[in-house]
């Protein structure tokens, strides 16, 4: 596994090596649906798929049922990069619960031993907790984990009418003690010999994506406003003859900011696909759904896969505005791009 960092003076454009293809497999997401059919690049595990694992069920005739992938409020995806006849696998985020990720990998017949690196989009626990089960499956993993330096911050959310809710934070000691190689980087960096770009801190350029106003971080001995969540980062790949594939975790930086930044960093104008959380759920974010749709329309994406925290209203708005590009995400869906 090789990495390359880019300092601030190197950031006009970054030459992102084209790949022959990329497969994104959703390992953790908020939705499960065994009845959805395949759709374009989206391949579903489906009800009655050949070789689907079974689970003991004493009250069913025959004594078993399907051991299907389970949904939870979190996100994780396996990125499989095809280049020059070889495949490389990187884990993007790890989901909400200790065992959700590793159990779904087993159900999908995917081995954690094939991973070459882990990228964590930000420090919120619904994207990190599954590392627990991953470590138990691997023993001492000795894998690089790419994070932003502010990943470790304590955070809380000021929910109106309730006591502040402090989010569960990842333990630096536990992560290092497990054997991970922790790589803290705020600037863009590469994995896979220049084929996979981790954006680092994302430029905030839109007028309407203003962050998470009720979010705070504990700094300098006190709770301070932290609407921007600066550790939010994305993954970018350049698929030959198709364009950029962009992966977001929650998209706290703003999905439009992220897409524009991916173009700026790489100098590649064509964005082929975006997959991940757009964080447009609830009364704080629903007012910017129309502006988000307008800005995405300007990019003419061919594949739009809103997941995790995008929200019901935003998902339906995107489906209505982009009927040909929109794909409903579910746990276990595989995107062959």
Measured in whole angstroms, the distance separating CA 190 from the mean position of its chain's CA atoms is 17
Residue 51 belongs to a domain: no
Q: Is the pLDDT of residue 309 over 90?
A: yes
Q: 27: part of which helix (H) or strand (E)?
A: strand 21-28
Domain-embedded: residue 282: yes
d(CA 95, CA 28): 6
Q: Is residue 56 part of a domain?
A: no
3-state secondary structure 244-309: EEEEECCCCCCHHHHHHHHHHHHCCCCEEEEEEECCCCCCCCHHHHHHHHHHHHCCCCCEEEEECC
Confidence of residue 77 (pLDDT cuts 50, 70, 90): very high
The pLDDT of 62-75, averaged and rounded, is 96
pLDDT at 139: 87
Q: Scanning the structure block, which residue is given the tokens 């992220």?
A: 258
Residue 15 C-alpha from the chain's centroid: 23
pLDDT of residue 5: 58
Say what the pTM is.
0.95
Would you say residue 53 lies in a domain?
no
- How many domains does the structure of the chain reveal? 1
**Residue 8 pLDDT more than 50?**
no
Average pLDDT over residues 182-201: 97
Average pLDDT over residues 47-61: 88
CB 45, CB 108: distance < 8 Å: yes
CATH number for the domain that contains residue 135: 3.60.15.10
pLDDT tens by residue, 269-281: 999 999 999 999 9
pLDDT level of residue 47 (50, 70, 90 thresholds): confident
**Residue 244 pLDDT exceeds 90:** yes
Q: Could you tell me if residue 54 is inside a domain?
A: no
Q: Domain limits at 238?
A: 4-46+66-336
Q: Could you give the CA distance from residue 37 to residue 47 in angstroms, rounded to a whole number?
A: 10
Q: What mean pLDDT do residues 226-252 have?
A: 98
Strands (E), 84-234: 86-92, 115-119, 144-147, 155-157, 165-166, 181-184, 189-191, 196-198, 215-219, 222-225
- The answer to whether residue 26 is domain-embedded is yes
* The dihedral sign for the CA sequence 124, 322, 326, 268: negative
Q: How confident is the model at residue 48 (pLDDT cuts 50, 70, 90)?
A: confident
Residue 98 lies in a domain: yes
At 151-169, the pLDDT tens digits run: 999 999 999 899 999 999 9
Residue 55 within a domain: no
Question: What pLDDT, on the 0 to 100 scale, is given for residue 13?
Answer: 87
What integer best gives the mean pLDDT of the chain?
A: 95
């Amino acid at each position: 596994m090789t990495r390359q960092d880019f300092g601030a003076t190197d950031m006009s454009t970054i030459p992102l090596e084209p790949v022959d293809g990329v497969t994104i497999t959703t390992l953790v997401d908020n939705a499960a649906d065994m009845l959805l059919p395949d759709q374009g690049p989206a391949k579903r595990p489906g009800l009655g798929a050949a070789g689907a694992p079974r689970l003991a069920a004493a009250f069913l005739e025959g004594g078993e049922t399907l051991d299907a992938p389970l949904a939870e409020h979190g996100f994780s995806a396996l990125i499989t990069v095809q280049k020059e006849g070889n495949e490389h696998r990187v884990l993007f985020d790890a989901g909400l619960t200790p065992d959700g990720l590793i159990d779904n990998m087993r159900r999908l017949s995917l081995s954690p031993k094939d991973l070459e690196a882990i990228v964590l989009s930000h420090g919120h626990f619904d994207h990190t907790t599954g590392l627990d089960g991953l470590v138990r499956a691997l023993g001492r993993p000795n894998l690089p984990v790419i994070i932003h330096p502010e990943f470790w911050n304590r955070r809380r959310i000021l929910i109106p009418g309730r006591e502040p809710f402090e989010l569960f934070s990842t333990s630096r000691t536990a992560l290092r003690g497990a054997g991970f190689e922790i790589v803290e980087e705020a600037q863009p960096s590469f994995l896979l010999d220049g084929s996979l770009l981790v954006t680092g801190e994302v430029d905030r350029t839109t007028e309407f994506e203003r962050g998470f106003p009720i979010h705070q971080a504990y700094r300098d001995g006190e709770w301070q406003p932290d609407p921007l969540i600066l550790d939010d980062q994305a993954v970018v790949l350049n698929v030959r003859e198709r364009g950029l594939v962009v992966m977001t975790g929650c998209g706290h930086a703003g999905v439009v900011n992220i897409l524009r930044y991916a173009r700026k960093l790489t100098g590649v104008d064509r964005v082929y696909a975006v997959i991940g959380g757009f964080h447009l759920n609830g009364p704080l974010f629903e007012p910017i759904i129309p502006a988000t749709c307008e800005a995405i329309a300007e990019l003419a994406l061919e594949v739009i896969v809103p997941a995790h925290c995008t929200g019901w209203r935003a998902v339906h708005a995107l489906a209505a505005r982009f009927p040909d590009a929109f794909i409903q995400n579910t746990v276990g869906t595989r995107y062959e791009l």
